[in-house]
Amino acid sequence: MVRQMLSTPQGTSLTFSTPNLHRVIQLLDFASEKVVKHVEGKAHSIGLSSPSAASSSHDLVSDVQQTMQQLQSVKLVEVEDTKMPVVAPLSSSKNNLVGVDANLLQLKDRLTNMQTKLEIIPITGMGGIGKSTLARNLYDDQLIITHFDYRGWAAISQLPNMRDILLSLLRCPIEKIDDELKGRNKNELKDILYKRLFGRRYMIVLDDIWITNFWDEIRMYLPNNNNGSRIMITTRESHVAQYVANSKGPHYDMQLLNMSASWDLLRQTVFGEEDCPLELQGIGSKIASECGGLPLAIHVIGGILSKVERSKDVWEQISTDVKASIVDSDERFSNILSLSYNHLPIYLKPCFLYMGALPEDHQIKESRLTSLWIAEGFLKSNGDKSLEEEAKDYLKLLVERNLLLVTRKKSNGKALSYSIHDLLRDLCIRKANEEKFLHVKDSMRRVSVESSYDMEDVCASPQLMSFARSFICTNDKINISPVFGILRLVRVLDVLDMLFEEFPKEILQLVNLRYLAINCPSGLPDGISRLQNLQTLISAHFVRYVPSELWEMYELIHIRLKHTIIKIKKMKFDLKKLQTLYIVWISPDLISSGFFERIPNIIRLGIYYEDSPNIVVDLSHLHKLEILYCNSELDKDGSRFLHKLRFPSNLRKLSLHSCVVFRSLLTTLCTLPNLEVLKIVECVFQREGEGEAEEEWEATEGGEFRSLLFLQLESLNLVHWKANETNFPKLRTLFVVGCYKLEEIPNAMGDIPTLQQIHIRECGASIVASAQQILKVQQEEYDNFDLKLYIR
């Protein structure tokens, strides 16, 4: 297919008729889904706890029996992993519980307060973060022991054995299991547990819950005695905690330790009550920091350090590769982290493993990560949702399973970028190599280059590289030009961190490309339309030239060109798949060509005005448009264009830069029911029709931004601002930046019940004083200590 496409004259459409191939794909999908459902169904129904479990998996319908035989060995390996014995907390000593003092007191209060109704207290967090250790410290606390009539602890694990769990709960600290109980069946044990708990104030700990089915089965045997009984659960799965607690009461989500707490825990693990020698404190602190705040990792490395010579030379040798020391020395550590991977549904595993292709401590934007997943073919649309919506759901699931961390949030509080813990990244790389998911010596399906050594490895295997589907380079010091001629079948080419003075023409031969991220100031070349499969085009640099043939590429979904103003005179074709486009120059020719009718599914759009302020730009028919960026030049007539702009009703985020703002515009914005984020930056407020500066923004009565969560006012000519809580009923965050003329923030803004943060940057003393007064009143008169003020 590639050879045929490259031999076809440029501009000639080339199609392939492959009905048999599509039929084969459908059959394979059907067969694999049937096998997976059957195996997983067997696993849950019998618990895979006996030798008969393996043989039972052969009872498949005849049309998938052969496929099952091929998958059998793979599935059994996963089963053996999940049957690993339940691991007790590495330490139950209170001295080894660091960094959670305040939360320990809060949890203790929740366990022993006067609330009579049965309360469920979830503790969530990633594997190894200390959930079981915290629960054990509470369980063994003397106050807890004396407060409850009965206490029970059970470790649940991935494949819960209900009979063993019931016996564990009946084996409470003060009552032993007798032979009679051991001989009872599961249903009898449930009845015994219920009778034993009925009427007593009890505390039950269900440690390490993975699935909601288990809770559905056991909940009816844990009575609500209305006497202050408590159930505490620990889980890596946030959605399980949400389900079990029925969204009532706060969850305690354990966080990674900071540098100070990490060193405290390591010092206690190695030295106990002894003092750490002065010469080891610096290198010890460095070793602790390499654990990334994960208590399990600190315990493991502490165990190593406690057994070696206490000398600076030995500790420095260990510090050269702390992660390797942890993983190599304690198989249990790897197994604990691997449980999270093994428990992932099949469709999430490649998305998780893909994080191993990114550099250590790398933060990746949601939009970039989801585009990569889509280009890789990890997602399939079920018809109800777009691939982008499916990808966001996948991200949410990985966050809920505490495998990905949200590192930055958008203005409306939603996730902006993600990262992965270093030790989980090592797990990704290890699993990816086992699965031949990332490049290894005999397979280069997906290639990630971070160093010159990696590049040498790649260039030494040109034949294998010719089959690569992905190439990601994150080092701007490497010459990767020779690679372009090898990557004949590549789908993903991400070289955003490198600067190319000229666009490499070899890239135009990569006709399978779906994702291209490049940094090239010379512009996009003629012939770009040869990349007929391209879905995402990203440039990290201002691009001088954009060929018109770009608008003939029907598969394009995202075009993100940094600071680039695209002049489009006309488009011949509808780009129905296009969802992102930044930034389009508004001109009479563009409007007359019906450009906005040709991008009906656009979600994110940037537009630029310079001249012709009287052009009516009607975006009201773009029902999917959620994010709009408007830019202009203040000294041009076009900066007054906003009063001629018709907004879509579904708009969620609006950014206005270097524009003239009239009072009528603000009235119009109040009518947008879904507007959550409003940024007004370097704009001039003017009186309508007079051309004179308007120094006051008075929010009119009934002028309600009903859904606004985030408001940013930056570098404006405003002197007076009048508003109250009814104008911004849901506002959470207020940013005021560089507004030197503005005298104060309206006092009534402090009465907004949802307001959480006020940020003041580079403003005059009077506005700072007004913000401080708002905070003082809220704290002293209303005991509102949730409102935070940040001044810079």
Least confident of 78-92, 290-304, 600-614: 78-92
Average pLDDT for the chain: 83
DSSP secondary structure letters along 637-684: GGGGGGGGEE--TT--EEEEES-EE-HHHHHHHTT-TT--EEEEES-E
Q: Provide the token pair at 2.
A: 């590639």
Say if CB 112 and CB 145 are below 8 A apart.
Answer: no
**Alpha-carbon gap, residue 464 to 436, rounded angstroms:** 13
> What's 387-433 look like in SS3?
HHHHHHHHHHHHHHCCCCEEEEECCCCCEEEEECCHHHHHHHHHHHH
What's the confidence (pLDDT) of residue 492?
94
Reported confidence tier of residue 592, pLDDT bands at 50, 70, 90: confident
Residue with tokens 């004949």: 488
What's the confidence (pLDDT) of residue 67?
46
Phi-psi region of 351 (alpha: psi -120 to 50; beta: other; left: phi over 0): alpha
What's the confidence (pLDDT) of residue 75?
34
- Cα 415 to Cα 69, 339, 409, distances in angstroms: 42, 26, 4
Strand 677-681 to strand 653-657: parallel, antiparallel, or no bridges (unpaired)?
parallel
pLDDT in tens, 706-757: 999 999 999 999 999 999 899 999 999 999 999 999 999 999 999 999 999 9
Residue 618 CA from chain centroid, whole number: 35
Residue 716 CA from chain centroid, whole number: 34
What's the confidence (pLDDT) of residue 179?
65
What's the confidence (pLDDT) of residue 204?
94
Tally Cβ neighbours within 10 Å of residue 218: 22
What's the confidence (pLDDT) of residue 94?
41
Residue with the bigger pLDDT between 481 and 442: it is 481
Say if CB 208 and CB 88 are below 8 A apart.
Answer: no
H or E element, residue 518? strand 515-518
Reported confidence tier of residue 177, pLDDT bands at 50, 70, 90: low
Residue 299 amino acid letter: H
What's the confidence (pLDDT) of residue 26?
73
pLDDT in tens, 376-427: 989 887 777 888 889 999 999 998 888 888 888 887 788 889 988 888 888 8
Say if CB 342 and CB 158 are below 8 A apart.
Answer: yes
Least confident of 183-197, 227-241, 557-571, 652-666: 557-571
Hey, which residues does 693 pair with through a beta bridge?
A: 686
Say if CB 578 and CB 604 are below 8 A apart.
Answer: no
What's the confidence (pLDDT) of residue 20?
62
**Alpha-carbon gap, residue 528 to 588, rounded angstroms:** 27
Residue with the bigger pLDDT between 351 and 383: it is 351
> 3-class DSSP state for residue 45?
helix
**Alpha-carbon gap, residue 512 to 492, rounded angstroms:** 9
**Main-chain dihedrals φ then ψ at residue 740, nearest 5 degrees:** -70, -25
Tell me the torsion sign for CA atoms 200, 202, 206, 212. positive
Q: Which residues of 512-543 are buried (b: 16+ CB within 10 A; e: fewer)?
A: bbbbbbbbbbebbbebbbbbebbbbbbbbbeb
What's the confidence (pLDDT) of residue 50?
40
pLDDT in tens, 292-308: 888 888 888 888 888 78
Percent of the chain with pLDDT over 70: 87
Rg (CA), the chain: 31
Reported confidence tier of residue 68, pLDDT bands at 50, 70, 90: very low
Least confident of 45-49, 194-198, 467-471: 45-49
Q: Provide the token pair at 299.
A: 């315990």
Residue with tokens 């990114």: 358
H or E element, residue 720? strand 720-722
Burial environment of residue 294 by CB neighbours within 10 A (0 to 12, 13 to 18, 19 or more)? buried
Residue with the bigger pLDDT between 62 and 278: it is 278
**Alpha-carbon gap, residue 284 to 305, rounded angstroms:** 9
Average pLDDT over every residue of 533-561 = 88
User: CA end-to-end span of the chain, whole Å?
Assistant: 59
Residue 286 CA from chain centroid, whole number: 28
Reported confidence tier of residue 49, pLDDT bands at 50, 70, 90: very low
Residue with the bigger pLDDT between 675 and 702: it is 675
pLDDT above 90 (res 255): no
Percent of the chain with pLDDT over 90: 33
What's the confidence (pLDDT) of residue 86?
37
DSSP secondary structure letters along 346-394: GGGHHHHHGGGGSPTT--EEHHHHHHHHHHHT-----SSS-HHHHHHHH
**Alpha-carbon gap, residue 614 to 643, rounded angstroms:** 9
Identify the top-confidence range among 72-81, 87-96, 164-173, 253-262: 253-262
What's the confidence (pLDDT) of residue 176?
58
- Cα 83 to Cα 42, 49, 158, 186, distances in angstroms: 15, 8, 8, 20
Reported confidence tier of residue 634, pLDDT bands at 50, 70, 90: confident
